[in-house]
């Protein structure tokens, strides 16, 4: 027994080693004699390998592997990683170097691309590397190619028209490079092409009519380029097309009704172009379509009722156009619809009851239209997760709590309607709510204690209503809360120190209410409002003095900041958190909140006493507004620590003494307002002060110097006691000049953002979500 088992155990390793030996012997000694790999191809491949460095993995790859590293000159190149030879002829037939960390420039004289070497190549895949250079026009000689992908590199230049000679090509992918120029007419020769992807480049010109002859095409992706002109009617001939994406270009004109013949089309994306006119009702013939986006164009007229025939449609976006009329009743037949977005049009009528038939609907946005009247119960839409009715004219004097009967509801935006009466108590049933916006309505009474189950709530806005009473203490249960905005109500309460433990609260806006009492406090928890970065308690009745350690606890505003990436609060939400802030003396609406923005606004209260020196600790502060209080004493020189400060308003107080000259060194400042105080002495040197309006300093006892017209002659002697000041001025103006656009950079970013709301940035984001959604449902 014992012996037998010993035997059987030992024979296995012995046999294995023997086999391995045979295998090794064959590999080493017999392989070269079989001459599997053509020497000229081997040498060309080795030369190719040596021309490129191994760089960083491409961010487009899930896994990258430097395939050429395995290419060594003592083995058969037909077995090298990424290479396939024909079994009989031993010719190279496939070269797949995707995700191989290749870095370098392709030159047209590269021996590998010599037609002799690649005569029989059918597949050439260099995608997802860091390759640059132009496409060698000799590629047109690789006449056996059926698959060519250079996608996701840094290739530039024009597509050589010689590619039109690759008559066997079925797939051409040049996406995500920096190609320029027009699509060569010759691509119309590629009659076997099934897939053409030129997306995310800088191509210009129109779609050549010749593409309409590529009758095998199933996928045509031209998105994210600078294409112009109209869609050629001939595209309607591409009867096998399943995927057509022309989004994010400058296409104009009407949609040709011939597109209605694309009976296999599943995805049609025309968003973010300049299309005009009415939608042809023939789109109702796209009987296989699952995803249709026409957003961000200039379409007019009514939504064709024929779209109600598209029974496979899961995703329909018509947002940001000029559609008028009602949602067609036929939409009640879109039984697979999961996403309907018609925001920012001129649609009207009462809430389209036909949508209540859409049992699979999960995202519905009707915002920025003229829908009016009462809301129905949404109980028949069990999957409804996001409902945005913002900026319409819905009214309801009843408890409009019907809405909240859907337990799945995650995002609800009823902002800027005409809702009247109390805040519905039934909200507490929506335990999954993440964002709730009831702002800009006529809601009255107290905000009820409905937040005990609110642990998912991330953002709550009830601003601009007529709410009274105290803040509901149940808000302290909202452990996920990041944004709380109750501005412009008549809430009569003391400062909500009891929210101090909310670990995620970033934005607290109590602006314009009847909050009152002292801001003195004894933190009960070690980390007091640990994430708070925007606090606006302006225009209330807070009184008393600020404790000297008032600014010590603002951890998020005082710790070192990582400014390497731009992020917005609530990026993961469909809902966009917005904010109005007094900035540079004017009210500014931020349509999204950059997470780098920090602000303390306690203006318009009855605070007295000195400004605490601890203000110097909030090093990341960008907006500081202490105006319209009763602050006395000197301006603390610790303010000079706030190197990021862009807007500083100390006006309408009783501050006295001189403005600390070192404030002139704050090159980030773009607006300072010191008017109506009791300040004296010279206005600090430095571009940021000298370029302000004189009105920023008016109404003081004895300020002098630029930009005021009062010269500092009288006190000049006093100033010469500070010998460093001349030198200082030189340094300051040099710094200011060298970073000419630095002042107001964070504020500027946001302003820029508002001005370009029609630009891709946030839109791409939404379409990205849509894409993600589509990909998810596709697979
Ligand atoms: C590869 O090795 C062969 C002989 O083993 C030699 O003739 C050839 O030049 C080598 N190629 C390169 C590129 O080093
Ligand atoms: C390869 O292509 C170039 C440029 O398109 C052309 O001039 C040349 O004649 C071609 N060579 C062969 C062998 O086909
Ligand atoms: C390709 O197309 C061009 C122009 O469209 C034409 O002149 C040329 O003859 C075609 N070449 C081949 C090989 O079909
Ligand atoms: C194109 O792709 C690059 C790289 O992924 C990306 O940074 C860029 O935003 C894209 N272009 C547009 C207009 O989306
Ligand atoms: C292609 O489309 C055009 C314009 O719509 C049409 O005139 C032509 O007959 C079509 N060609 C084929 C082969 O279907
Ligand atoms: C498509 O919709 C229109 C208008 O709603 C209707 O008249 C037509 O019969 C529908 N066609 C099909 C094939 O269902
Ligand atoms: C909802 O669908 C039913 C049949 O499924 C239909 O009878 C009814 O008219 C539809 N309602 C609306 C408002 O479209
Ligand atoms: C609500 O709106 C409808 C339609 O605009 C209107 O007829 C009705 O009078 C309004 N009700 C209230 C209470 O304002
Ligand atoms: C919290 O939700 C549960 C059901 O999920 C409910 O029974 C309970 O009454 C709610 N609590 C409060 C205080 O609303
Ligand atoms: C706030 O409420 C108190 C009573 O709780 C009342 O005395 C006071 O007048 C109210 N303040 C304002 C501004 O209405
Ligand atoms: C602050 O205002 C309250 C009334 O809201 C008053 O009772 C209190 O005396 C005031 N405190 C100071 C320091 O003025
Ligand atoms: C800042 O963030 C970037 C990206 O998240 C990270 O790579 C970098 O290391 C961070 N820098 C610091 C100083 O934390």
Q: Looking at the 3D structure of the chain, how many domains does it have?
A: 4
Q: Which residue, of 330, 347, 373, is where some domain finishes?
A: 373
Take atom 4 of ligand 3 and give the residue whose Cα is closest: 186
pLDDT higher than 60, residue 188 = yes
* Ligand 4, atom nearest to 200 Cα: 1
Residue with CA at minimum distance from ligand 8 atom 1: 373
Q: Give me ligand 6 centre to Cα 36, in Å.
A: 63
pLDDT at 158 over 70: yes
Give the torsion through C-alpha atoms of 183, 189, 193, 197, to 10 deg. 0
Q: Are residues 647 and 672 in the same domain?
A: yes
Whole-number pLDDT of residue 87: 83
Query: Minimum mean pLDDT among 323-327, 418-422, 491-495: which range?
Result: 418-422
CB 349 less than 6 A from any atom of ligand 8:
no
360 found inside a domain? yes
Tell me the backbone φ, ψ of residue 186, rounded to 5 degrees: -65, -20
**pLDDT exceeds 70 at position 26:** no
Of 27-31, 144-148, 419-423, 750-754, the poorest mean pLDDT is in 750-754
Residue 28 inside a domain? The answer is: yes
Does 672 share its domain with 763? no
Q: Whose CA is nearest to atom 10 of ligand 4?
A: 200
Kindly identify the ligand whose nearest atom is closest to the C-alpha of 47.
Answer: 1
The residue contributing the CA closest to ligand 12 atom 12 is 562
Among 494, 500, 410, 391, residue whose Cα is nearest residue 459 = 410
In whole angstroms, give the CA distance from residue 134 to residue 143.
Answer: 19
Q: What is the pLDDT of residue 400?
A: 65
Please give the residue that has the higher pLDDT: either 627 or 566: 627
Q: How far is the CA of 360 from the centre of ligand 12 (A)?
A: 41
Residue 404: per-residue pLDDT: 64
Neighbours of 740 (CB within 10 A): 9
Whether the Cβ atoms of residue 656 and residue 635 lie closer than 8 Å to each other? no
632/661 same-domain check = yes
Q: How far is the CA of 458 from the centre of ligand 1 (A)?
A: 65
Q: Domain range spanning residue 753?
A: 741-778
Rounded to the nearest 5°, which phi and psi values hold at 19?
Answer: -60, -45
Calpha distance 283→623 (Å, rounded)? 51
For 128, list phi and psi in degrees, rounded to 5: 60, 55
Residue 665 CA, chain-centre distance (Å), reads 34
Buried/exposed code over 595-633 (b: 16+ C-beta within 10 A; e: otherwise): bbbbbbbbbbbebeeebbbbbbbbbbbbbbbbbbbebbe
Of 373, 397, 412, the position where a domain reaches its end is 373
Distance of CA 683 to the CA centre of its chain: 42
Mean pLDDT of 586-611: 89
Listed residue (272, 180, 158, 187) closest to 223, CA to CA: 272
User: Which of 289, 302, 306, when mutated, tests ligand 6's pocket best, judged by the most ligand atoms within 8 Å of its CB?
Assistant: 306
565 lines ligand 12 (CB under 6 A): yes
CB of residue 454 inside a 6 A radius of ligand 5: no
pLDDT at position 40 is 86
Within-domain flag for 199:
no
Q: How far is the CA of 509 from the centre of ligand 12 (A)?
A: 29
SS3 156: strand
Average pLDDT over residues 750-762: 31
Tokens of 168: 């066997």
Ligand nearest to the CA of 519: 11
Using a 6 Å cutoff on CB, does residue 161 contact ligand 2?
no
Kindly state the helix (H) or strand (E) to which residue 399 belongs, with its residue range: none
Mean per-residue pLDDT, 425-446: 90
- Tell me, yes or no, whether 758 and 718 share the same domain: no
Tell me, in angstroms, the distance from the centre of ligand 2 to residue 162's CA. 9
Cα(519)–Cα(611) distance, integer angstroms: 13
Q: How confident is the model at residue 113 (pLDDT cuts 50, 70, 90)?
A: confident
Query: Which residue would you say has higher pLDDT here, 595 or 511?
Result: 511
Structure tokens at 130: 């860091």
Q: Is 616 left (phi over 0), alpha (psi -120 to 50) or beta?
A: alpha
In a domain, 486, yes or no: yes
- Same domain? 715 vs 746: no
The verdict on 351 and 492 lying in the same domain is no
The per-residue pLDDT for 379 is 78
User: Is residue 761 located within the same domain as residue 693?
Assistant: no
For ligand 7, the distance from its centroid to the CA atom of residue 332, given in whole angstroms, is 6
**Ligand 9 site: residues with CB under 6 angstroms?**
428, 431, 452-453
Asked whether residue 270 is assigned to any structural domain, the reply reads: no
Q: What is the C-alpha R_g of the chain?
A: 34
Q: Do residues 764 and 710 share a domain?
A: no
Q: How far is the CA of 395 from the centre of ligand 8 (A)?
A: 6
d(CA 541, ligand 11 centre) in Å: 9
The pLDDT value recorded for residue 750 is 42
- Give the ligand with the smallest distance to the CA of 224: 4
Average pLDDT over residues 493-521: 93
Please indicate, yes or no, if residue 405 is contained in any of the structural domains. no
What is the pLDDT at residue 526? 63
Indicate if ligand 8 lies below 6 Å from the C-beta of 372. yes
Mean pLDDT for the stretch of residues 597-622: 93
Name the pLDDT band for 746 (thresholds 50, 70, 90): low
How many Å lie between the centroid of ligand 5 and the Cα of residue 213? 8
Q: What is the DSSP string of 502-532?
A: -TT--EEE--SS--EEE-----SSSSSSTT-
Looking at per-residue confidence, does 7 or 640 come out higher?
640
CB-count exposure of residue 402 (10 Å: 0-12, 13-18, 19+): middle
Q: How confident is the model at residue 525, as a pLDDT?
A: 63
The arithmetic mean of pLDDT across residues 290-306, rounded, is 96
User: What's the whole-number mean pLDDT along residues 275-285?
Assistant: 96
| 644-695 pLDDT tens trace | 899 999 999 999 999 999 998 888 888 899 999 999 999 998 888 888 889 9
Whether 514 is in the pocket of ligand 10, judged by its Cβ within 6 Å, is: yes
Q: Categorize the per-residue pLDDT at 33 as very low, low, confident or very high, splitting at 50, 70 and 90.
A: very low
Are 545 and 664 in a shared domain? yes
CA diameter of the chain: 115
How far is the centre of ligand 8, averaged over its atoms, from the C-alpha of 373 (Å)? 6
Residue 449 pLDDT > 80, yes or no? Answer: yes
- pLDDT at residue 718 above 90? no
Is the C-alpha dihedral spanning 611, 606, 438, 446 positive or negative?
A: positive
- 719 or 207, greater pLDDT: 207
Whether ligand 11 lies within 6 angstroms of the CB of 516 is answered as: yes
What tens digit of pLDDT does each residue of 458-473 get?
Answer: 999 999 999 999 999 9
Q: Whose CA is nearest to atom 7 of ligand 3?
A: 186
Q: CA torsion 542→544→548→550, rounded to 10°?
A: -10
| Measured distance CA(157)–CA(155) in Å, rounded | 7
292 pLDDT band (50/70/90 cuts)? very high
Ligand 7 shell residues, CB under 6 Å: 329, 332, 353-354, 357
The position carrying tokens 């080493």 is 28
Is residue 725 lining ligand 10, measured as CB closer than 6 Å? no
Q: Are 155 and 181 in contact, with CB atoms under 8 Å apart? A: no
Answer with the one of 318, 347, 373 that is the final residue of a domain. Answer: 373
Distance in angstroms (rounded) separating the CA atoms of residues 729 and 332: 71
For residue 493 and ligand 10, the question of a CB distance below 6 A is answered with no
Q: Say whether pLDDT at 289 is over 50.
A: yes
Judge if 644 and 745 occupy the same domain: no
**How much is the pLDDT for 107?**
86
User: What percentage of the chain has pLDDT greater than the value 90?
Assistant: 60
DSSP 30: I
Atom 3 of ligand 12 has which residue's CA nearest to it?
564
Q: Which ligand is nearest to the CA of 516?
A: 11
Ligand 7 atom showing the smallest separation from residue 332 Cα: 14
Q: How confident is the model at residue 715 (pLDDT cuts 50, 70, 90)?
A: low
Q: Which residue has the higher pLDDT, 600 or 405?
A: 600
Q: Is 200 in the pocket of ligand 4 (CB under 6 A)?
A: yes
Q: Name 595's Cβ contacts closer than 8 Å, sequence gap at least 6.
A: 506, 533, 567, 568, 569
- Note the pLDDT tens digit of each residue in 598-608: 999 999 999 99
* CA count, 13 A, side-chain hemisphere, 103: 8
Nearest CA to ligand 2 atom 3: 138
Q: Whose CA is nearest to atom 8 of ligand 8?
A: 373
CATH number at residue 355: 3.80.10.10
284 lines ligand 6 (CB under 6 A): yes
Task: Note the pLDDT of residue 473.
Answer: 95
Residue of higher predicted confidence among 304 and 586: 304
Burial 312-341 (b: 16+ CB within 10 A, else e): ebbbbbbbbbebeebbbebbbbbebbbbbb
Find the length of the chain.
Answer: 779
564 lines ligand 12 (CB under 6 A): yes
484, pLDDT greater than 70? yes
Least-confidence region, from 208-217, 357-366, 400-409, 636-645: 400-409
Ligand 8 centroid from CA 427, angstroms: 23
Proximal ligand: closest to the CA of 164:
3
Report the distance separating Cα 297 and Cα 294, nearest Å.
7
Please indicate whether residue 374, judged by its CB atom, sits closer than 6 Å to ligand 4: no
Tell me how far apart the alpha carbons of residues 526 and 597 are, in angstroms, rounded to a whole number: 24
φ, ψ of residue 84 to 5 degrees: the values are -130, 130
Q: Is the CB of 247 under 6 A from ligand 5?
A: no
Ligand 2 atom 13: residue of nearest CA: 115
Q: For the ranges 183-197, 306-320, 414-428, which has the lowest average pLDDT? A: 414-428
Q: Which residue has the tokens 């202490």?
A: 626
Which residues are 624's β-sheet partners? 600, 648
Report residue 736: phi and psi, to 5°: -65, -40
**Does 223 score more than 80 pLDDT?**
yes
Mean pLDDT, the chain, integer: 84
pLDDT number for residue 462:
97
Q: What angle do CA 148, 154, 157 make, to 5 degrees?
A: 80
- For the CA atoms of 248, 250, 256, 257, the dihedral, rounded to the nearest 10 degrees, stands at 30
Answer whether residue 309 is part of any domain. yes
Cα–ligand 8 centroid distance for 379 (angstroms): 23
Whether the CA torsion 677, 683, 688, 691 is positive or negative: it is positive
Instruction: Give the burial string for 417-437 (b: 16+ CB within 10 Å, else e).
Output: bebebebbebbbbbeebbbbb
Q: How far apart are CA 104 and CA 117, in angstroms?
A: 21
Distance 327 CA to ligand 7 centre (A): 14
Q: Whose CA is nearest to atom 7 of ligand 1?
A: 39
Mean pLDDT within 564-585:
81
Ligand 3 pocket check for 188: Cβ under 6 Å: yes
Do residues 376 and 353 lie in contact, with contact meaning Cβ atoms separated by under 8 Å?
yes
Q: Please enumerate in sequence order all residues whose Cβ is within 8 A of that of 84, keeping only pairs 6 or more positions apart, or say none.
A: 78, 92, 93, 94, 95, 96, 123
Number of the ligand 1 atom closest to the C-alpha atom of 43: 13
Residue 505 sits in the same domain as residue 364: no
> Would residue 204 count as lying in a domain?
no
Query: Has residue 352 got a pLDDT over 60?
Result: yes
677 and 770 share one domain: no
Q: How many helices (H) and strands (E) does the chain have?
A: 10, 49
């Amino acid at each position: 027994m014992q012996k037998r088992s010993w035997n059987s155990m030992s024979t296995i390793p012995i046999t294995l080693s023997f086999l391995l030996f045979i295998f090794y012997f064959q590999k080493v000694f017999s392989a070269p004699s079989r001459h599997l790999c053509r020497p000229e191809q081997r040498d060309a491949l080795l030369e190719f390998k040596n021309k490129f460095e191994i760089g960083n993995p491409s961010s487009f790859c899930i896994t990258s592997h430097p395939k050429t590293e395995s290419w060594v000159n003592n083995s058969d190149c037909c077995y090298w990683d990424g290479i396939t030879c024909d079994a009989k002829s031993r010719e190279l037939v496939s070269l797949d170097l995707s995700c191989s960390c290749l870095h370098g420039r392709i030159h047209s004289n590269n021996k590998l691309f010599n037609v002799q070497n690649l005569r029989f190549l059918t597949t050439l895949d260099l995608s997802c590397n860091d390759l640059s250079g132009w496409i060698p026009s000799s590629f047109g000689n690789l006449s056996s190619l059926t698959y060519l992908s250079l996608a996701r590199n840094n290739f530039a230049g024009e597509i050589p028209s010689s590619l039109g000679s690759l008559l066997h090509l079925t797939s051409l992918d040049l996406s995500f490079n920096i190609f320029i120029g027009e699509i060569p007419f010759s691509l119309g020769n590629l009659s076997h092409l099934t897939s053409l992807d030129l997306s995310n480049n800088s191509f210009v010109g129109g779609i050549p009519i010749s593409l309409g002859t590529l009758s095998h095409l199933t996928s045509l992706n031209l998105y994210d380029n600078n294409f112009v002109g109209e869609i050629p009617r001939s595209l309607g001939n591409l009867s096998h097309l399943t995927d057509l994406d022309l989004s994010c270009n400058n296409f104009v004109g009407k949609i040709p009704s011939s597109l209605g013949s694309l009976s296999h089309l599943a995805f049609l994306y025309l968003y973010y172009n300049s299309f005009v006119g009415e939608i042809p009702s023939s789109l109702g013939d796209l009987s296989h379509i699952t995803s249709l986006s026409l957003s961000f164009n200039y379409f007019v007229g009514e939504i064709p009722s024929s779209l109600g025939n598209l029974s496979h449609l899961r995703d329909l976006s018509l947002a940001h156009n000029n559609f008028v009329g009602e949602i067609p009743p036929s939409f009640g037949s879109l039984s697979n619809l999961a996403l309907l977005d018609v925001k920012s049009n001129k649609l009207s009528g009462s809430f389209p009851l036909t949508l209540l038939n859409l049992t699979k609907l999960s995202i519905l946005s009707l915002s920025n239209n003229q829908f009016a009247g009462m809301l129905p119960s949404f109980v028949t839409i069990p999957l409804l997760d996001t409902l945005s009715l913002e900026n319409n004219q819905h009214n309801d004097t009843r408890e409009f709590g019907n809405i909240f009967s859907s337990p799945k509801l995650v995002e609800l935006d009823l902002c800027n309607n005409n809702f009247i009466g109390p805040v519905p108590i039934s909200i507490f049933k929506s335990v999954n709510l993440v964002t709730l916006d009831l702002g800009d309505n006529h809601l009255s009474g107290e905000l009820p204690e409905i937040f005990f189950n609110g642990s998912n709530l991330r953002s709550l806005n009830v601003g601009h209503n007529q709410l009274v009473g105290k803040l509901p203490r149940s808000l302290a249960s909202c452990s996920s809360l990041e944004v709380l905005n109750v501005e412009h109500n008549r809430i009569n309460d003391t400062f909500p120190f009891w929210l101090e433990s909310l670990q995620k609260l970033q934005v607290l806006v109590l602006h314009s209410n009847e909050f009152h009492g002292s801001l003195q406090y004894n933190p009960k928890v070690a980390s007091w409002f640990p994430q708070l970065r925007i606090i606006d308690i302006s225009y209330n009745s807070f009184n008393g003095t600020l404790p000297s350690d008032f600014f010590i606890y603002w951890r998020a505003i005082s710790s070192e900041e990582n400014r390497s990436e731009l992020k917005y609060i609530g990026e993961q939400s469909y809902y966009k958190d917005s904010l109005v802030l007094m900035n540079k003396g004017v009210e500014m609406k931020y349509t999204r909140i950059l997470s780098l923005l920090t602000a303390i606004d306690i203006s318009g209260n009855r605070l007295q006493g000195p400004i605490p020196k601890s203000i110097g600790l909030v090093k990341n502060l960008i907006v500081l507004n202490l105006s319209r209080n009763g602050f006395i004493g000197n301006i603390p020189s610790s303010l000079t620590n706030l190197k990021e400060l862009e807007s500083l308003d100390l006006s309408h107080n009783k501050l006295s003494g001189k403005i600390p000259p070192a404030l002139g060194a704050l090159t980030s400042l773009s607006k300072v307002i010191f008017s109506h105080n009791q300040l004296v002495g010279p206005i600090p040197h430095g571009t940021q002060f000298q370029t302000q309006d004189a009105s920023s300093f008016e109404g003081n006892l004895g300020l002098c110097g630029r930009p005021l017209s009062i010269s500092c002659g009288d006190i000049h002697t006093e100033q010469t006691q500070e010998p460093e000041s001349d030198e200082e001025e030189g340094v300051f103006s040099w710094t200011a000049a060298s970073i000419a656009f630095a002042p107001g950079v964070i504020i500027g970013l946001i302003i820029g953002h508002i001005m370009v709301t029609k630009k891709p940035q946030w839109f791409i984001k939404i379409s990205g979500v849509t894409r993600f959604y589509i990909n998810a449902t596709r697979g």
